[in-house]
């Protein structure tokens, strides 16, 4: 299953940002400035904390003006989450590449596995270690956590649209695509919390935590926690 995974990363994720000749010099320069700003920002955040780092310090490290920073990012939040948001958004692409014969939840799980495998193998930023450190940063900052959740919500919409497309249903009248994605992410989030509590050491442990959460999910259905006839009114 790993083979398909690394192939996936190349076409959909672009987590490496391998500078595959992005047209003219101007574009390349912009890309470099953007990457430099993210690198400098993350380095400072990790070293002296998110709140303690000012934008002036970030731009000083890259030697661009404060004004320029705001032309690339809306604020500190955005530069801090740029990488992890990229990873998250790549899930939509990975989902689209799953064979349409797979049931929605299976496709979601496989897409997640593919992205995490790609993360693992990528030697550049977006790699496993960078992801773990960024995760800790988010976990420690209410503002970043809030922004992360909001971005996840937006990504959910895209994923729900994709599920609706591959299942051939109308997402405006059928709630199932939205429910599937929303609950799927709920499970992943629980697994992530568990992973964080255990120290968030490596992404391989995150994969294990997600699997464990899904097993517990099965147990939940069988253990009667849902109640009988829970879909209709039971009062």
Measure the CA–CA gap between 138 and 192, rounded to whole angstroms: 12
Binding partner of residue 212 among DNA, its own copies, none, CB under 5 to 8 Å per kind? Answer: its own copies
CA end-to-end distance (rounded Å), the chain: 46
Task: Please tell me whether residue 146 binds its own copies under the rule CB under 8 A.
Answer: yes
Q: With contacts defined by CB under 7 A, how many residues of the chain interact with DNA? A: 25
The CA-CA-CA angle for residues 127, 128, 133, to 5°, reads 100
The string of DSSP letters for 135-166 reads HHHHHH-HHHHHHHHHHHHHHHHHHHHHHHHH
Q: Could you say whether residue 49 binds DNA (CB under 7 A)?
A: no
Tell me the two tokens of residue 55.
């934008």
Quick one: which of 166, 158, 160 has its CA closest to 102?
A: 166
- In angstroms, give the least distance from the CB of 130 to DNA: 22
Q: Which partner from the list DNA, its own copies, none does 25 bind, CB cut-off 5 to 8 Å by kind?
A: DNA
Rounded CA gap, 186 and 41, in Å? 30
Residue 221 interacts with DNA (CB under 7 A): yes or no: no
Q: How far is the CB of 72 from its own copies (least distance, A)?
A: 18
**60 part of the interface to its own copies, by CB under 8 A:** no
Nearest to 145 by CA among 200, 102, 81, 204: 81
List residues binding DNA (CB under 7 A): 23-27, 29-30, 33, 53-56, 63-68, 70-72, 74-77
Chain contacts with its own copies (rule: CB under 8 A):
1, 102-106, 109-110, 142, 145-147, 149-150, 153, 167, 174-176, 178-180, 182-183, 185-187, 189-190, 193-194, 211-220, 223-227, 230-235
């Amino acid at each position: 299953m790993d083979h398909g995974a690394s192939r996936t990363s190349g076409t959909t994720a672009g987590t490496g940002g391998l500078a595959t000749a992005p047209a003219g010099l101007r574009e390349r320069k912009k890309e470099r400035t953007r990457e430099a700003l993210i690198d400098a920002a993350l380095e400072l955040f990790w070293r002296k904390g998110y709140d303690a780092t000012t934008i002036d310090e970030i731009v000083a490290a890259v030697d661009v003006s404060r004004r320029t920073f705001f032309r690339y990012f809306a604020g500190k939040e955005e530069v801090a989450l740029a990488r992890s948001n990229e990873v998250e958004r790549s899930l939509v692409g990975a989902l689209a590449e799953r064979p349409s014969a797979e049931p929605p939840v299976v496709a979601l799980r496989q897409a997640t596995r593919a992205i995490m495998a790609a993360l693992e193998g990528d030697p550049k930023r977006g790699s496993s270690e960078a992801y773990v450190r960024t995760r800790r940063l988010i976990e420690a900052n209410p503002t970043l956590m809030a922004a992360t959740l909001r971005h996840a919500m937006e990504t959910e919409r895209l994923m729900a649209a994709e599920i609706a497309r591959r299942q051939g249903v109308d997402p405006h009248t059928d709630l199932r695509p939205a429910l599937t994605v929303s609950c799927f992410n709920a499970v992943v989030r629980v697994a992530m919390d568990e992973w964080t509590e255990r120290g968030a050491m490596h992404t391989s442990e995150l994969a294990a935590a997600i699997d464990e959460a899904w097993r517990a999910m099965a147990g939940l259905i069988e253990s009667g926690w849902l109640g009988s006839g829970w879909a209709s009114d039971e009062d």
